[in-house]
Amino acid sequence: MISLDNPRDSAERVVSELLRVPPAADELGRVFTANGYLLHLVGGSVRDALLGRPASAVSGAVPADLDFATDARPERVLEITRGWAEATWEAGIAFGTVGLARHGVRFEITTYRSEAYDRKSRNPAVTYGDSLEADLSRRDFTVNAMAVSVPGHDFVDLFGGMADLARGVLRTPASPEASFDDDPLRILRAARFEAALGLTPVPELVAAMRSRADRLAVVSPERIRDELRKLMSAPDPVAGLERLVEVGIADIVLPEVSAMRMEIDEHHQHKDVYAHTMTVLRQAMTLEEPGEPDEVLRWAALLHDIGKPRTRRHMTGGRVSFHHHEVVGRDMARRRLAALHFPKDVTDAVCRLVYLHLRFHGYGAGEWTDAAVRRYVHDAGPQLSRLHKLVRSDCTTRNRRKAAALSRTYDSLEERIAELAAREEIAAIRPELSGDDIMVLLGLPPSRLVGQARSHMLEFRFEHGIVGREAAEAELFRWAREHEVPVPGDAPVPGELTPRRG
């Protein structure tokens, strides 16, 4: 890693660090040079080389996308790389970007350009430029406005990006207002860089984030979603989220999070929900596998209490209740994630966790029946491991005795789950009679009645475990008689049940 304690000394050594550029990048540089064009490695790969990030493509550790800037127009890029590139893609050519691949390395080559959003448009208007300096001056932040020529490896830092890395600050090459007007998404990106790199925005940048917040209205939900997902997967998402709340951006992109900043009642009968949520998020992160951010768990931790502001009720004695906030919160989370066009699998997983995060507390101090354990496991489904982590993270009490008691109770629940799992298949609990079985036994066509019967048999499975085919059929016929569904004349009547083990 290059030391940034002395930026001047670091500048002299940066070239040797950048010699770790994959050989294919230098090959590409020679192709451009031979055709009379300039090619510079730009953006995050240069920044990461300065930070000595081991997973950086520049370090050669892992093949990844490399970003380049050139004075060649996109059509010319395609022409001069034909035969050199093993694959090309032109999805971004309208914005001046051509994609190439060679030797397992992906290259994105963008013609010198500037972008500007019309006040009423979601798409930027791209204008090509003719100089590297102008191109770098329009980039989002100084730490991304550094460049290295290939194959020569001449280091270009016109706006003090390396010094900003050394000082741990985030600035824009041009005025922050002009930068955000060029691309309002940079407002979110500033918070993401604070979360990912620990760079603190300078005061004028913070002021511009606040004053330009309304410009985010022209940015597509997909681009906002992608930035938020990156922020939430960063090493310190809380820092980025708190910045968004502070400058009012969360009011636009995650208003449910801002709304959790409720006033605490004068008797302090409930916690500051917003502060509690940030603590839960931090605690959930400590339970992740090392080096593997769990996006679903983090979003569930962030959104688990968003139903509280809408369900708060003041009661006698200064007490406050939030009845059914998990149900309201689940529905709110689904609407917000849908508005941001999140993938369905992520949305479903997060919403399931939000809905179930209080279930554990509904069973008191450990009086868990086998039926309750089966329901808990069944309802959590594939999110059971994350639910364990979320519930444990949700304990933020400063009362050590209470926290220890809650931890012991949850330990007990996990032991009960393990005990039941050793005796029966509880990871994917199903009724012992399938829908097809029910239709055959009762002579029913596919219908809502079959679904009702199957739901009953699932509840029966929760309560009694595995009882065997004969006892299950007897229970089905009992249910049918109770609901006036005709049953075969020789159908058995259930006796006392003895659950089977195994």
Confidence (pLDDT) at 16 = 54
Contact between residue 391 and residue 410 where contact means Cβ atoms under 8 Å apart: yes
Q: What is the Cα–Cα distance from 200 to 193, expressed in whole angstroms? A: 8
CA-to-CA dists, residue 23 to 13, 41, 100, 442, angstroms: 20, 13, 15, 71
Sign (positive or negative) of CA dihedral 269, 273, 275, 277: positive
| pLDDT number for residue 269 | 46
* Backbone phi, psi, residue 151, to 5°: -90, 5
DSSP single-letter state for residue 447: S
Question: Which residues are within 8 A (CB) of 278 and not within 5 positions of it... i.e. 6 or more apart?
Answer: 238, 241, 242
> Exposed, middle or buried by CB within 10 Å (0-12, 13-18, 19+), for 106?
middle
Spell out the CATH class of 1-164. Answer: alpha beta
The pLDDT value recorded for residue 308 is 92
Q: Which region, left, alpha or beta, applies to residue 424 given φ > 0 means left and ψ of -120 to 50 means alpha?
A: beta
| Backbone phi, psi, residue 391, to 5° | -60, -45
Angle between helices 295-303 and 273-285 (to 10 degrees): 160
DSSP code for 144? G
CA distance 45 to 397: 43
Q: Residues 53-78: pLDDT tens digits?
A: 644 433 333 345 789 999 999 999 99
pLDDT of residue 59: 34
Check residue 71 and give its pLDDT.
Answer: 96
Q: Which of these, 179, 37, 178, lies nearest to 111 by C-alpha position?
A: 37
Rg, the chain, Cα only: 29
Sign of CA dihedral 133, 230, 193, 259: positive
- pLDDT score for 64: 58
Residues with Cβ within 8 Å of residue 197, at least 6 apart in sequence: 51, 143
Q: Give per-residue pLDDT as tens, 397-451.
A: 878 888 888 888 888 888 888 888 877 777 678 888 999 999 999 989 999 999 9
Q: Is residue 410 classed exposed, middle or buried when 0-12, 13-18 and 19+ CB atoms within 10 A define those classes?
A: middle
Look at residue 131 and give its three-state secondary structure: coil
DSSP states along 309-368? HHH-EE-GGG-EE-TTHHHHHHHHHHHHHHHTT--HHHHHHHHHHHHHTTGGGGGTTT--
Cis peptide before 151 (omega within 30 of 0): yes
CB 355 within 8 A of CB 325: no
Tally the C-alpha atoms within 13 A of residue 395's C-alpha that lie toward its C-beta.
Answer: 19
Position 265 scores a pLDDT of 43
Domain boundaries, the chain: 1-164, 291-423, 430-502
- Give the model's pLDDT for residue 462: 85
Q: How many Cβ atoms are within 10 Å of 86's Cβ, its own excluded?
A: 12
Calpha distance 270→143 (Å, rounded): 43
Say if residues 141 and 121 touch (Cβ distance below 8 Å). no
Specify the DSSP class assigned to residue 92. Answer: T
Ranges of the chain whose pLDDT falls below 70: 1-22, 53-64, 114-125, 263-271, 317-318, 363-366, 427, 490-502
pLDDT at position 129: 85
Tally of CA atoms within 13 A in the half-sphere of 303 that contains its CB:
30
Separation between Cα atoms, residue 342 and residue 345, nearest integer Å: 8
Give whole-number Cα distances, 285 to 202, 207, 273, 290, 340, in Å. Answer: 28, 30, 18, 9, 23
Neighbouring CB atoms inside 10 A of 138's CB total 21
Position 105 scores a pLDDT of 87
